[in-house]
Structure formats: C-alpha cells, structure tokens
A and B are shown apart, each in its own frame.
Chain A
Amino acid sequence: MDLQLVKTKMTIGPKKGQYQYTLKRVSYGNVTSEAILEEIQSATTFSRADTDAIIHAFVGVMLEGIAEGRIVDFGVLGTLYPQISAMAVDTKEECTPDTIKTKGILYRPDGDLADEAKKMKLRVIDVLPSMGKTPDDDNEQQPEGGDDNNDQGNQGGGNSGGGGFEG
C-alpha cells in the first residue's frame, strides 16, 4: 500500500497553530465490480453476461437480507450486520421505535483478512501533482518492528495476498 506524507496545520488542541506531519494512504481510485468480473472470467465456463447476472442477483439478495435485519456473510471478506443505537428509558412500555436514534450497517472483516491487513507492505512515495504512482521499491517498509508495541509478528515476508492478477 502506498502512503504519502501530509502536512497539517492544527486548529485545536495544545499544538494549535503548529504544523504536524503524518502519513496517508494514496488512493488510485476504485477497482470496479466489472474489472473484478473481467479478471475472474478466465476461471469460469460462464459467459460474461451470466456472471454479470449472477453478481447482480447476488447484490439483490444481499440488499433483501439487510432490509430484513439479517447478518449477511461475504465469505473471505467478512460480514455486514445491522446496528441501531437507542435511548435508555425507564419502563419496558416506553421502549418504542421512537427511542431508536440511529440505524446503520457495520462491517466486520473476516479474521484472516484482518490479520493479513496488518501485515500489508507499506511504502512512502512522492506524489507529484497530477501524476500517479512513483514507485520506489527502496522505500518499502513494514509497520512491524522498532520499539513500538506491535506484536503482529513477521511471517518471513512471503506474499500471502492470494489472487495473482495484475491490477
């Protein structure tokens, strides 16, 4: 994952007015569902129209599940589950839908995916305005190590990211 240095002037807190620095993920735009389907196309015997229809129907089934308040399973990606926050009241009878303040959806990544995410290779790159990636493999670093309280543990630097397509 590519990161870039960002400089921010603090507007609140003890360091108000001072410049602070941090790293931020560089976004190269979204990979679309269509691109993913194109990539898996070679691994199936179905036509592109069929796989499109399957994914379209899959999204429909997922939306219906969430509409019914069900926890939906995305296999290796994890689960989405509905969530509400509500006001506390004194009696059971007062507990009506009016006490529900917010409703939304929460995502819980699959355990293996969450573990793999912590081992992602990170590199700080220079991004020039209006230009894309400037690869610099020498800058490649991992978040582990140092004196920080990180205990994720390296696993030999192997690339266990699955897949195998060039994006």
Chain B
Amino acid sequence: MAKKRYWTYEAKKKKVLKQDKWVATLRRQDHLTLDETSEQVSIRGSILPGEVSGILRAYFEQIRYHILAGDSVNIKGLGTFYPKMTAKMVDTAADATVNNCVKDITIGFRPSNELKEVINKSGFRVFAPADNATPREG
C-alpha cells in the first residue's frame, strides 16, 4: 500500500482587515535540490549521481531551448511548460501590433492529471515541535 504523504502547516497570526486573525500556512521544508534528486534517481537505477545529474541538466537545457523557441513542452506525468503571453485588446486590426498589444511574456506550467492527483491525495498535518525538546535558556 502506498505510504500516505502529508503537507505540514502551522497556524500563523496575521492582520486581516486590521484585526488579528489566525491562518493556516504551509511550513516550508528544505528544497528537493537537483543533487538530491540525482542521488535518489541513481539509487533506483544503479547509475552514478554525477551521470544522472548530467542527463537531467541536458534534458532541462533542451526543454528550456524549446520553450524559448515558442514551444510547449510536456513532461509525461508531471505537466507542461509553455511560454505565456499577456496581451491587451485594441479597437482595430491595424492597431494589433506586437508593440501595442503584448504586455508581458513569462513561462507557465500546467500540472498533469497525475500531479494533480498526487496533490489531492496528500493530507495535512499540523506542525508539532518535538514534545521532549528543551527550550533554549537565556
């Protein structure tokens, strides 16, 4: 049976409309870095982490190249990276030029159904510092 995964949250005090309120906020954990990912992949595939890292970097570089060429790139199981443009409306077709319409270009990500399912299946648990932890004195 698949192990149940959790997102950890903690209650934080915030000002909402000038009133003190409490809001559940995600507790940030350490990043899953590319080095750690490479290490974990290497364990599963009996390949050296450095070699995995090299392939992943080449893979990301190539995805980047395609995105900057205007393509959408789909990583199966994860989602799609694509160039995202915001443009404004103008009154006439003649006014619809790049300089008049294009406001911003950035990169977007659309999660796959698998990723959405993983997120939906994750539970929540409240952050609880270890009960036996001794408070720092001084």
Contacts and interface: CB of A to CB of B under 8 A. Distances in A.
Interface of A: 1-3, 5, 7-8, 10, 15, 18, 20-25, 27-33, 36-37, 39-40, 43-44, 46, 50-51, 53-80, 82-84, 86-92, 94-97, 99-100, 103-105, 107, 109, 113-114, 116-118, 120, 122-124, 141-143, 145-146, 148, 161-165, 167
Pick the most buried of B28, B87, B111, B126: most chain A CB atoms within 10 A of its CB. B87
Nearest to B38: A58
B64 A66 contact: no
Most chain B beta-carbon neighbours within 10 Å: one of A69, A79, A90, A122: A69
Mostly, the B contact residues are: mixed
Interface of B: 5-9, 11, 13-14, 16, 21-34, 37, 40-41, 44-45, 47, 51-52, 54-78, 80-81, 83, 85, 87-93, 95-102, 104-109, 111, 114-115, 118-124, 126
A145 B71 CA distance: 24
Contacts of B33: 73
Contact of A36 (B14, B21, B63, B119): B63
Contacts of A104: 111, 119
B93 A69 contact: no
A81 to B, nearest CB: 8
Given A5-B93, A33-B74, A61-B40, A71 B119 contact: no
Contacts of A146: 99-100
A62 B36 CA distance: 11
B105 A118 contact: yes
A114 B106 contact: yes
Given A8-B89, A64-B5, A88-B16, A40 B105 contact: no
A31 B56 contact: no
A21 B93 contact: yes
B75 A59 contact: yes
A116 B66 CA distance: 12
A20 B89 contact: yes
A32 B77 CA distance: 11
B107 A2 contact: no
A58 B61 CA distance: 15
11 contacts: A1-B70, A22-B96, A33-B75, A54-B56, A58-B56, A63-B115, A67-B5, A84-B7, A86-B24, A120-B70, A162-B61
Nearest to B40: A61
B111 A105 contact: yes
B76 A97 contact: no
B96 A23 contact: yes
A118 B109 contact: no
A75 B80 CA distance: 16
B60 to A, nearest CB: 5
